[in-house]
Structure 1
Amino acid sequence: MTYLSRIWLNPLRRGAQGLLRSPEKMHAAVLGGLSRQPVTERVLWRLEAGQPHRAELLVLTESTPSWEHIVEQAGWPHSDEPQVLVRDYQPLLDRLDNGREFRFRLRANPVSATRSPTNPSTTQKEQLARPRPRGVRVPHRTAGHQITWLTTRIDHWGFTLIDIEDAGPALQLSARERLTFHKKAQEDQTTGRRVVLSTATFDGAVCVTDPHRARHTLLHGVGPAKAYGCGLFTLAPLSPTTPGGT
């Protein structure tokens, strides 16, 4: 089984502010929602912070999750309104027929591998100095390069971009961010290496061209930095009046 969860976060609470600032803390909170520890299943998540009064956390898990700890720490624990929605993902997977059209959203970390980066970091220099180096990841920082990164890959993900009347253009680059944080060292939980991510959020419309690849894309995500909220490819109905979306 696979489940897609939506958890509302209150950005005025200190606990939520800590999660919103740190992808590493958010990842730890997400893994804390699974009873089987240490977590070995595939987990994908994405933060939607476009609303001023509440943020939305989407999480895709293979097992049934429990999000009470996030609601207590970062939500509205005593609200009458539901703070968590958990849906079975299989009905959407079953609708991925050839030719089916959807809206999509993806927050990704667009990168390419190269053996000759322009300004290699110390870590990259060490990697390139090894025997038979495989290359290092270099982020795409401009909007044009980020869009090209997606358009040259989406066919391999089982989809093709489409323009639909009244559904908006096939592709929009709706957000771009540069995230910087320190990843804690595992041994003593002190401040470890500095992590810098260039993320891009894509919105648009797609048509399913390969149902098998499309299901793999939804279940396994795309690109690197999945632990930090990237890679979750979600679909929603084309009609803007249709509630919900996955």
Structure 2
Amino acid sequence: MTSTPQPANMETHFSLLCRQTDVEKNKLWKLPVIEQALAGKLGLNTYIAFLTRAYHHVKHTVPLLMQAGARFSQQDEWLRRAMAEYIEEELGHEEWILNDIAVCGGDAESVLKSTPSFAVEMMVCYAYDSINRIDPLCFLGMVHVLEGTSVALATRAANSLKSSLNLPNKAFSYLISHGDLDQGHQKFFEDLINRLSADQLQVVIESCHRFYRLYRQVFEELPCQ
């Protein structure tokens, strides 16, 4: 599939994706726990609880990418190749999270052996299910929600929490790696979305609506300080 040039004054597919999922995004960003994190008012136990939940969905990123890639048709070989590039970027990120937990004084070994929370389990289950039952493009909806939220909020949250919790930079390797420094990764995703057909874009938009709700539930179940 080749990309179709768009007139300079035409809204890009990525802009359309952002605009049509803006309501769900704002509901997520306005959660008290996220506002507390940005203000540096989050307790250490809540931060470790967030990392624990992140571990349990991030460890599925590579398997989900592999599954999505396998489901694309030969006509969309370019999307399969994009999934392969993502795999190289995502390998080992769950290990960064375990390291962050250990630096914070948490029990990384217990997290490694633990079971996911209900909200995380439901989000991960839906990711696998939607790839197989609906369309492998559904995975891009999950990417937009998780990665987009991280790029927008992670660096700010890390800087605020580092000061308030008196923790070193190495306690925030996961957040920092997915924050402002991840702009190249975000540009790759934008270019990918802009190459989709209108029908393919609609699949991603519908997927985003669902993953914003699912990801919001992950934050809503975090313990209050």
Task: Give your verdict on TM over 0.5.
Answer: no
Greater relative contact order (CA < 8 Å, ≥ 6 in sequence): 2
TM-score bucket of the superposed structures, by smaller chain: 0.3 to 0.5
TM-score of the pair, normalised by structure 2: 0.33
Larger radius of gyration: 1
Report which of the two has the higher share of strand: 1
TM-score of the pair, normalised by structure 1: 0.31
